[in-house]
Amino acid sequence: MREGRDAREERRRRWIDRWAHRVIFLLSLTAIVTIVLIFIFIFREALPILTDPEIQREASLRHFFHPMEGPDLASRYMWQPVALVPKYSLIPLILGTLKTTLVALGIAAPLAVAAALYTSEFAPSRIRELIKPAIELLAGIPSVVLGFFALIVLATWMHRLFGFETRLNAITAGTALALALIPIIYTVSEDALNAVPQSLREASLALGATRWQTATRVVLPAALPGVFASLVLGFGRAVGETMIVLMASGNAAITSWRFTDSVRTLAATIAAELGEVVFGSPHYHVLFFIGALLFVVTFAVNSAGVYIIHRVQRRLRGEV
Amino acid sequence: MVKFDTIRETTREPARAPDLQTTSLPVKVQVERFSFYYGAVRVLHEITLSFPRNQVTALIGPSGCGKTTLLRAINRMNDLIPDTRAEGRILLDGENIYDPQVDVVRLRRRVGMVFQRSNPFPKTIFENVAYGLRVNGLVRNRRELQERVEESLRQAALWDEVKDRLHESALALSGGQQQRLCIARALAVRPEVLLLDEPASALDPIATEKIEELIAELKRHYTIIIVTHNMQQAARVSDYTAFLWMGHLVEFNQTEKLFTVPREKLTEDYLTGRFG
């Protein structure tokens, strides 16, 4: 009798276990399926650019990257999707994205890595406990607020300070963008620096190295994979960030090498134009093509980052 | 204070520093009424002790007796631990290393240290040894650097094993080799005193034997202070032994005497394995 009840109980438990397993699997599958479906949707909407001859007459890879007739750089590569004769050169948008990203990373990377090095290696614990949450709080500011601040306050300051020709330009947008990158780069770098074993610091100091030498020659190199990962994440955010650049860049798709010209980024273009585009038009498909391009670029950079991190880590562990 | 009374009862007579005059050895490191605190907890109680020059002195005692704290006090490694405090003096060649004017960086160059767990830098074998020379600006050119690295690796009896792969990662070495690399790294800056914190505790018997042979070899040039809780090891490698118990120095004597005819009952109990 007792054995029978135990067996039934056992069976019931196994049944619950199996179904719990299935339900959880299904739930996690939903997340993956959703992401995959989004990708499929974006790439499907971008595909006519490569396949549909009707669309290709107006917008094709040739239009995107090939120069037109024109007296100067700006007129050879133009983004004018709603002109009488639409022009779909992606060059000004790519250049604009690169310029803001470069400025943003150029400001945020040294600041954030130096701040991380300071809090992990030099700051007394009281100061660290002040700085760390303050920088992490910066990540919590909505990017529309950062954009607004850049548009109203930062742009005016920088305009007065540097005397730019145009108030909103790649430098202003990049500086505002840097505010969004700093917490990302800082947090990941700081974690990487803190993960360096204390025994390495002790070994260095015991040899008569100063704290500065210990920080720059032992701790930082040992944390390099993590610091590099933080920069890759920062790059991904800079390329994908939309609201800040939409508000602070001037949004003029000008092809030029000057950082003081207004710029328009890939992400901002999608945000600004997709709401008013004619469904199914070449312009519509071009915007999806840009989305696919952004996805491919960030995916490629992240993958390359992960690959390099693995290689550096293996080298540090001595497995090469 | 309760603790201190306990020790008095068990040891019959008060602990005292030995008379080094009888050995006629010059003193390299002199510890004078040295106490150390972690926060409010006193972990070393007025230790007075002389480490003779060019001799190996072992610090033994049960876990938590303060032997590692005392060792790390000699190159002021304890400074890195927040909320700690030292009282008393430690003299290196007659100069108090706890004097506010002392340059800790320079002190640590003179007093090298090898840690319990080998901790090579994630760099090449060569760079590990070269590190101390580089940060202290001790070499003028590449050739001199290479010579000093080779010399240090030879001193640590590691040269023959690694000479063909100096530019490979140090982390690819075995545990025993890594520990000898750490010794080579410490020797490269030519310290006067070498502190060894249980240098063989994580190693197999063969690697341990190599390290012990090395210690015997090194004492010709260095004053060596070694922490160990392996009593056989202390007996094998050291000339002098100090027995610490609950932050007090119980007995200090020539290793041979301390192990054969301990003066204190507590020492005898520890050596015969009655506790610890």
The domain locations on chain A are 2-46, 73-317
* B156 lies in some domain: no
* B168 lies in some domain: no
Round the average pLDDT of chain B to a whole number and report it.
88
Query: B168 touching A, CB under 8 A?
Result: yes
Q: Domain total for chain B?
A: 1
Query: How much is the pLDDT for B29?
Result: 94
Q: What does pTM read for this prediction?
A: 0.83
Query: B170 touching A, CB under 8 A?
Result: yes
Query: How much is the pLDDT for B10?
Result: 43
Q: What is the CATH number of the domain that holds B93?
A: 3.40.50.300
Interface test with chain A among B76, B105, B185, by most A beta carbons within 10 Å: B105
* B49 lies in some domain: yes
Interface test with chain B among A122, A205, A207, A224, by most B beta carbons within 10 Å: A207
Torsion region of B228: left, alpha or beta (phi above 0 gives left; psi -120 to 50 gives alpha)? beta
- Chain A hits for B173, Cβ within 8 Å: 318
* B133 lies in some domain: no
Pick from A260-269, B14-23, B133-142: least confident: B14-23
Residue B90, pLDDT > 80, answer: yes
Query: How much is the pLDDT for A3?
Result: 64
Please tell me the CATH code under which domain A73-317 is placed: 1.10.3720.10
Query: How much is the pLDDT for A186?
Result: 96
Residue B97, pLDDT > 80, answer: yes
Structural contact between residues A89 and A79, judged by C-beta atoms closer than 8 angstroms: yes
Structural contact between residues A195 and A223, judged by C-beta atoms closer than 8 angstroms: yes
State the nearest Cα–Cα gap between A197 and chain B, in angstroms: 9
**Confidence category of residue B258, pLDDT binned at 50, 70, 90:** very high
CB contact under 8 A, A316 and B109: no
Chains A, B: CB contacts within 8 A come to: 84
CB-CB: which of B77, B82, B189 is closest to A208? B189
Domain that holds residue B94: 2-120+192-271
* B148 lies in some domain: no
- Chain B hits for A319, Cβ within 8 Å: 172
Query: B80 touching A, CB under 8 A?
Result: yes
* B100 lies in some domain: yes
**Confidence category of residue A107, pLDDT binned at 50, 70, 90:** very high
Structural contact between residues B182 and B118, judged by C-beta atoms closer than 8 angstroms: yes
